[in-house]
Amino acid sequence: MDIDNKEMKAIFIVYNQAYNMEIADALSEIGQKGFTMWQDIEGCGSRGGEPHLGNHAWPTMNNAMLTMVDDDKVDVIMDIVKKKDKETPALGLRAYVWNIEKGY
C-alpha cells in the first residue's frame, strides 16, 4: 500500500481496559490490520462515564489505539465504536478522526 497516493484518516480510539483486545479484534474482522496500542493510561472524559485513574477511588485504567485507515473504513469503524459505547456507556469509549497529510 502506497499511503502517499491514498486518501487516509487517522482514528484515535480511547477505551476502558475492560475492552482489552475487543477493539483490535473488531478492526481485524473488517480487514484493518495495522494499529498502535497504548495500555494502562489514565483519563477522564468530558461527557459522562467514570474517571479511569488507576488509584484507590478510581481503580480502572484506559487503553488507546491509533490506526491509519482508508477513507472508506472510517464510517464502519465509527459505527463499531458507537455501538459498543451504547451497549456499555459507563465504560467510556471514544473515537476521533483526523486527516493524514503524508506518510511513509
**Tens of pLDDT, residues 54-65:** 788 877 889 999
What proportion of the chain, given as a percentage, has pLDDT over 90?
49
- Helices 71-87 and 22-29: angle between axes, nearest 10 degrees: 140
Q: Which of 37, 43, 42 is nearest to 64 (CA)?
A: 37
Q: Contacts by 28-31 with C-beta closer than 8 Å and gap 24+?
A: 30/73, 30/76, 30/77, 30/80, 31/73
CA 21 centroid distance within chain = 11
Q: Which CATH class is domain 3-99?
A: alpha beta
pLDDT in tens, 23-61: 899 999 999 989 999 999 988 776 666 777 778 887 788
3-class secondary structure, 22: helix
Q: Residue 3 pLDDT more than 60? A: no
pTM: 0.85
User: Does residue 84 carry a pLDDT above 60?
Assistant: yes
Residue extents of the structural domains in the chain:
3-99
